[in-house]
């Protein structure tokens, strides 16, 4: 049987980053992945630009059943450490709004750098080979694939979450966790567009605007995108982490301005401005038409109190009840996952199960939109690689 210091299940962001660091520390490392290419999710990340980190890195940007868990790994591996890593591979970055860093050379270049880092350090990468079974044997771990059986002192589960199955995402990591009696917080699609049944705004599909959206206690200011099925865009992807079926979203389509005051000001000018025209000063014309509705053809001076209140509430407090999310097919990440309470936050090793590590998205750690999920993959991989 093939024997290694470490077997890594999954050649994604976390698995490859771990493998490079662990092999660099002299460990013999085998990485298994069913894909024909490694890091398939990295290749499609950030719309092909890979938003690999965020300068505004803080534990508060992550949702985790054990909120302090991420702190140690984040403290030991910062956004600038990742910038430096990419720099050593000849890659540069561009900063977008909110400290989001994207790779200027594109997501494919990041994936290639990760592969070079792992194999260059001596890790053995076996592609087209999925782990199908894991066994604990005499203090070591056995891993069976379609092609063979391997053994190692340490096992690193880096299988990611089940979102975006088109790039090979699986549920295997959760099965391994349960096999070792590790609790799994039920995974659910997150950072995902929302579907609204009986959607009567199909004609607005493709239209985008800045909004403030709230759901229960959470309020997010970002861009909204109308789709054929409902709502998307960064504002909706971000609120999807907090939305539960049966809850309303409340949208302020004109954050920072006061529609009632705008109407009053237009009344005081001449009063003759059409409501539709007033709205078109602040909204794309298709949306202005829809918001104005029957009142759109009236002059502002003709708006009675009821029509004005109704317009103001459509603009500032538009209530939408999504029926579901677009599901795993379109979710950027899985919320939930392997319960971190059973792990060391310094090393990602399972308590009471020496040599068993879980890193990356398979854990119950979900970052906000904006580079946080990839940063968690790097930081958790880095933490485990120092310990293994």
Ligand X SMILES: Cc1cc2nc3c(=O)[nH]c(=O)nc-3n(C[C@H](O)[C@H](O)[C@H](O)COP(=O)(O)OP(=O)(O)OC[C@H]3O[C@@H](n4cnc5c(N)ncnc54)[C@H](O)[C@@H]3O)c2cc1C
Question: Which residues of this chain interact with ligand X, rule CB under 6 A?
Answer: 9-15, 32-35, 40-42, 44-46, 50-51, 130-131, 158-160, 163-164, 168-170, 172, 332-333, 360-362, 371-374, 377
If the CB atoms of residues 35 and 296 are measured against ligand X, the closer one turns out to be 35
Least distance CB 222 / ligand X (angstroms)? 15
Q: What residue is closest to ligand X based on CB? A: 12
**Residue ranges in the chain assigned as alpha helix (H):** 13-24, 40-44, 71-76, 79-88, 107-120, 172-179, 234-239, 259-269, 275-280, 285-292, 305-316, 372-387
If the CB atoms of residues 194 and 300 are measured against ligand X, the closer one turns out to be 194
Task: Return the structure tokens found at 104.
Answer: 């200027």
Least distance CB 45 / ligand X (angstroms)? 3
If the CB atoms of residues 32 and 123 are measured against ligand X, the closer one turns out to be 32
Q: What is d(CA 378, CA 103) in angstroms, rounded to the nearest whole number?
A: 15
If the CB atoms of residues 189 and 296 are measured against ligand X, the closer one turns out to be 189
Least distance CB 355 / ligand X (angstroms)? 18
If the CB atoms of residues 51 and 232 are measured against ligand X, the closer one turns out to be 51
* Full DSSP string of 113-140: HHHHHHHHTTPEEEES--EEEEEEETTE
Q: Which of 25, 67, 40, 86 is nearest to 345 (CA)?
A: 67
Q: What is d(CA 191, CA 78) in angstroms, rounded to the nearest whole number?
A: 23
DSSP state of 35: S
345, 71 contact by CB (below 8 A): yes
Cα within 13 Å of Cα(285), Cβ side: 1
Q: What is d(CA 149, CA 132) in angstroms, rounded to the nearest whole number?
A: 10
Least distance CB 294 / ligand X (angstroms)? 41
Least distance CB 145 / ligand X (angstroms)? 7
If the CB atoms of residues 158 and 303 are measured against ligand X, the closer one turns out to be 158
Least distance CB 35 / ligand X (angstroms)? 5
Least distance CB 387 / ligand X (angstroms)? 18
If the CB atoms of residues 109 and 303 are measured against ligand X, the closer one turns out to be 109
């Amino acid at each position: 049987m093939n024997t290694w210091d470490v077997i890594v299940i999954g050649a994604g962001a976390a698995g490859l980053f771990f493998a490079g660091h662990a092999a660099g520390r002299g460990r013999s490392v085998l990485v298994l992945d069913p894909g024909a290419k490694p890091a398939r999710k990295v290749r499609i990340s950030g719309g092909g630009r890979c938003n690999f980190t965020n300068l505004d890195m803080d534990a508060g940007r992550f949702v985790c059943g054990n909120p302090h868990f991420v702190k140690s790994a984040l403290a030991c591996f910062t956004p600038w450490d990742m910038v430096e890593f990419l720099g050593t591979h000849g890659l540069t970055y561009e900063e977008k709004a909110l400290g989001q860093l994207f790779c200027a050379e594109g997501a494919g270049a990041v994936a290639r750098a990760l592969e070079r880092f792992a194999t260059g350090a001596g890790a053995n990468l076996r592609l087209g080979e999925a782990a199908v079974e894991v066994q604990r044997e005499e203090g070591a771990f056995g891993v069976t694939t379609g092609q063979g059986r391997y053994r190692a002192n340490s096992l690193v589960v880096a299988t990611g979450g089940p979102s975006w199955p088109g790039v090979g995402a699986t549920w295997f990591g959760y099965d391994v966790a349960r096999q070792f009696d590790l609790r799994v917080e039920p995974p659910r699609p997150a950072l995902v567009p929302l579907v609204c049944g009986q959607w009567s705004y199909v004609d607005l599909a493709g239209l985008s605007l800045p909004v403030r959206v709230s759901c229960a206690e959470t309020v997010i200011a970002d861009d909204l995108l109308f789709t054929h099925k409902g709502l998307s865009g960064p504002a909706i992807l971000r609120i999807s982490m907090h939305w539960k079926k049966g809850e309303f979203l409340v949208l302020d389509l004109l954050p920072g301005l006061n529609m009632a005051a705008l109407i009053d000001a237009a009344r005081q000018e001449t009063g003759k401005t059409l409501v539709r025209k007033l709205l078109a000063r602040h909204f794309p014309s298709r949306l202005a038409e829809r918001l104005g509705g029957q009142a759109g053809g009236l002059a502002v001076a003709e708006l009675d109190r009821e029509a004005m209140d109704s317009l103001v509430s459509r603009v500032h407090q538009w209530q939408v009840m999504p029926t579901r999310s677009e599901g795993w097919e379109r979710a950027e990440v899985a919320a939930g996952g392997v319960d971190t309470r059973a792990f060391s936050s310094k090393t990602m090793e399972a308590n009471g199960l020496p040599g068993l590590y879980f890193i990356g998205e398979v854990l119950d750690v979900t970052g906000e939109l904006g580079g946080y999920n990839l940063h968690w993959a790097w930081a958790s991989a880095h933490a485990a690689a120092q310990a293994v």
